[in-house]
Amino acid sequence: MKKIVIIIFAVLMVVPAMNMSAQKSFDQFEVQVDGLGCPFCAYGLEKKFKEFKGIKKVKIDIETGDFSFAYPTEKALSLDAVTQQVNKAGYTPMSGKVTRADGTIEEISASNLATINSNESTKQAFVAGNCEMCEARINKAALSVAGVLKSNWDRETKMLEVSFNSKQTNLKKIEKAIAKAGHDTKNHKAKADTYGELPGCCKYERIE
């Protein structure tokens, strides 16, 4: 009986400590966003950031463009990744700041962001595919490459239009990522096994 009481006491002591630890394990992000004109814009931005699993306390002020949220410290989310995600949502980051859980503050200025934006390049490439599932998979593969800002694959023309930071990546790397996901490009072919695992509706005609 005494052992049971000790165990319960220990658990009761540990749980609050765990909760306190969890409360201190979030980084606080603040971003100034240009282009938010209506509630639908704010919804689009928030939806894009929901891709960051674990995001908390999202706040968006449409009038000022102030966007803030909390994110788990252990995931080490960078300001670069945050500003890129704003770009992917179709808006322009003007400045950014993150206050880490340990009190460290990191900032990215408008001038630095202007330099990043000045390195933006837009290219087109042929990518084989058939349907909406292909479209989602192709765009997801392109956007998974660090430095890619926007991706749009057209089902009719089979052409991909992609915008990226030329200092971080290039079209060759993007095509390789897409081929790895199962879709042939003009310069890179998907592995036979990867292609074979695609759903039936996604099995495009391969050119040997």
Query: pLDDT, tens digit, for every residue of 91-123?
Result: 889 999 999 999 999 998 877 777 666 778 899
Residues 161-184 pLDDT 10s: 998 888 889 999 999 999 999 999
pLDDT at 78: 86
pLDDT at 75: 86
Mean pLDDT lowest among 56-60, 63-67, 86-90, 95-99? 86-90
Q: Strands 66-72 and 120-126: what pairing?
A: unpaired
pLDDT at 110: 74
Domains in the chain, CATH or no CATH each: 26-116 (3.30.70.100), 120-202 (3.30.70.100)
Give mean pLDDT, residues 74-103. Answer: 88
Handedness of CA 194, 196, 202, 203 (dihedral sign): positive
Give mean pLDDT, residues 138-163. Answer: 91
Buried/exposed 35-61: b ≥16 CB within 10 Å, e otherwise: ebeeeebbeebbebbeebeebeeeebe
Whole-angstrom Cα distance, residue 65 to residue 58?
Answer: 13
Contact (CB, 8 A) for 147 and 186: no
Confidence of residue 193 (pLDDT cuts 50, 70, 90): very high
Contact (CB, 8 A) for 6 and 67: no
- Judged by DSSP in three states, 119 sits in coil
